[in-house]
Amino acid sequence: MTFDSNAFLIIFTGALIAISCGFLGVFLLLRKMSMTGDAISHAVLPGIVIGFFVSGSQRSLEVILGAGLLGILSTLMIDALRKKAKVQLDASIGITFTLLFAIGIILINLFAYKVDLDQECVLYGEIAYLPIDLWITSSGLNLGPRITWLAGVNFFLILGFTYFLFKELSITSFDEQFSSAIGIPSKGINLALMSMVSYTTVSSFESVGAILVVALLVVPPSTAYLWTKSLIPLLRLTATLGILIAILGYYLAYWIDSSIAGMMVAVAGAFFFGSALIKGNWPLGLRGTSKSSPAFDS
């Protein structure tokens, strides 16, 4: 076991990303929209490619804007398919994100000769390269790893978002009709949440990739939900899990010399299955020691 500044930076950044995703994931879970997070993380691809093409760099504002717009577009599309065309929610999610993702792949191939971007780089990030990817200002000042800055800004944005809109987020998650009736803009809140998910996906795709970010949106909140039935403890436990996942993920990956992001998600999965074993409603012989609680949507 080693602990140096690089290890600290990777764990720190991983924890920031895991907590940001976890906070958003809690509200997605409560709205039964976890798969919408999945859809968004894939649907942002064409936005990333277009932003990249326009600006010529994957670190530009255009990329974030493009991805954000596509994220919102995909939520609107899912909603429209469901409400206007009467397609089932799961089917409309499946149709929307695969279509947008396919357009993204076509665009990458079309522009491939011009830009340095490929599917691999979007789908699988690599957090281990973080300490060598430094943000150096034009005057030559070294400000530290760029991705850590990105994750930090993202983290404080999500923290502010959940803090200031906590009341609105919780009431629209619980009872959308009632919140519309008393004048809380539930559609606006929903779009804001979806934009946050898009933004988080983009700012995390370089480090953990577009696929593993989905796991961080879904798994820690679902694990925490097995243990608590109140909202604030749910957010706290999700954050704690995020930190644990980053630490254990890093050292286990270090130990067997493998992907850190992959190991983080594997650890998250292990936490989930452990919790499900203890809290789940198993037949007597398989049951853990604690009292069982009702499943999520029973």
Partner 1 sequence: MITQVPNPILEVHDLTVSYDQQPVLWNVDLSLPAGQLIGILGPNGAGKSTLIKSIMGLIPPTSGYIKIFNKALQEVRTRISYVPQRESVDWNFPASVLDVVVMGTYGKLGLFRRPGKKEVQIAQEALEQVGMTAFVTRQISELSGGQQQRVFIARALAQQADLYLMDEPFAGVDMATETAIFQLLQDMARTGKTVLVVHHDIHSAMNFFEWVIMLNLHLVASGPKDQVMTEELLRKTYGGKLNLLTQVTDLIRKQDFNPLKS
| Beta carbon of residue 150, minimum distance to partner 1 (angstroms, whole number) | 26
CA angle 240, 162, 158 (to 5 degrees): 75
What is the signed CA dihedral for 280, 283, 286, 291, rounded to 10 degrees? 50
Least Å distance between CB 193 and partner 1?
Answer: 15
Note whether 294 binds partner 1 by CB under 8 A.
yes
- Determine if 175 is a binding residue for partner 1 (CB under 8 A): yes
- What gap in Å lies between CA 51 and CA 225, rounded to an integer? 37
| CB of 20 or CB of 186, closer to partner 1 | 186
Q: Per rule CB under 8 A, is residue 166 in the interface with partner 1?
A: yes
Pattern 26-65, partner 1, x by CB under 8 A: ----x-x---------------------------------
Q: Does 83 bind partner 1 (CB under 8 A)?
A: no
The yes or no reply on residue 283 touching partner 1 (CB under 8 A) is no
Give the residue with the Cβ less far from partner 1, 183 or 283.
Answer: 183
User: Site mask, partner 1, residues 242-281, x = CB under 8 A?
Assistant: ----------------------------------------
Give one word for 133, left, alpha or beta, with left for phi > 0 and alpha for psi -120 to 50. Answer: beta
Per rule CB under 8 A, is residue 296 in the interface with partner 1? yes
Residue with tokens 């409309």: 92
Which span sits near partner 1 by CB under 8 A: 43-51, 118-126, 160-168, 273-281?
Answer: 160-168
Q: Does 174 interact with partner 1 (rule: CB under 8 A)?
A: yes
Pick from 6, 55, 60, 170: which binds partner 1 (CB under 8 A)? 170
80 touches partner 1 by CB under 8 A: no
User: Is position 182 an interface residue for partner 1 (rule: CB under 8 A)?
Assistant: yes
The reply on whether position 227 binds partner 1 by CB under 8 A is no
Q: How far is CA 78 from CA 23, 33, 95, 207, in A?
A: 22, 11, 8, 27
- Give least dist CB 42 to partner 1, A: 27
Among 5, 57, 88, 180, binds partner 1 (CB under 8 A): 180
Residues forming the site for partner 1 (CB under 8 A): 30, 32, 164-168, 170-171, 173-175, 177-184, 225, 228-231, 234, 294, 296-298
